[in-house]
Structure 1
Amino acid sequence: MGLQQDLMIKIKEAMKAKDAVALESLRAIKSEILLEQTKGGASSELTKEEEIKLLQKLVKQRKDSAIIYKDQGRDDLAAPELAQVEVIAKFLPEQMNEDDLKKVIAEIMKKVGATSMKDMGKVMGMASKQLAGKADGKAISTAVKQLLG
């Protein structure tokens, strides 16, 4: 089942359950998908990779907003953002834990021959492609810096 079909089922479930947070999150995903599809002029199906990137973008936006709200002492606004992150993250593939992430990055470093921070760009390029959807860019970057530094 594609993301859009799954999304429609979840929207109906959220409506029946009167779950406002889930409904708002799911509608945001649907809206973003529609915007992405019509961006090129013709409506076309998104690839799995494009769907994952889109979902990761939505999660990152909400996490960033929550951080800003917390920094300003507005926990009342940060809580709904974090709740939406949980709903949206359910559509993403399982995220890698830190140990597995470091193992994969170490293998990539061996392939590329990376030994110093100068090689970070090469490692990040390959790691971002290989780990798309399995880990977010910030976690990949942190792991690469730890292993190269």
Structure 2
Amino acid sequence: MAAKSALARTFMQALRPDLGRPASSLISDVLLEDQPIQPPEDINDIMVSFSTSEMQSIEAEFKYTLLLKFPKGCPKLTRVRENISNWGLAHAFSVVPMNPRHVILHLTSVDDFGQIWTRGSRSIDSPSFRLLKWSSKFCRKEESSLAAV
């Protein structure tokens, strides 16, 4: 691994230099290997790409991350958080909206991950949901082939 230089910036700093540290200390920032290129004049040409080592870092950071998929739409995020708080988790977690039908549940412990991944009940305030294992190959338009065994 290359030494971190004084000029190294994180992904968040490259996208939003006006922001300080992220709101959640549960999810660490990914260090970019190279300085990002200047964005093109046409905003439609902007693209983000990650190196293999950056993807490995992201995969490691999110190894205990699940997605809650609500086929008919997600309930209020406060209700999702309250409900998950009652699941008896032993360690810190964060709940972040992804889109109107998916919620990201980032766990910090393998024990909590196992407890939730194999959990029987699959509803919050009546709307049922499916648990999906987060993967860098996740595509919201395709069904995941990952399942608890």
Query: What is the TM-score when the length of structure 1 is the normalising length?
Result: 0.29
Whichever structure has more helix as a proportion of its residues is 1
Relative to total residues, which structure has the larger strand share, 1 or 2? 2
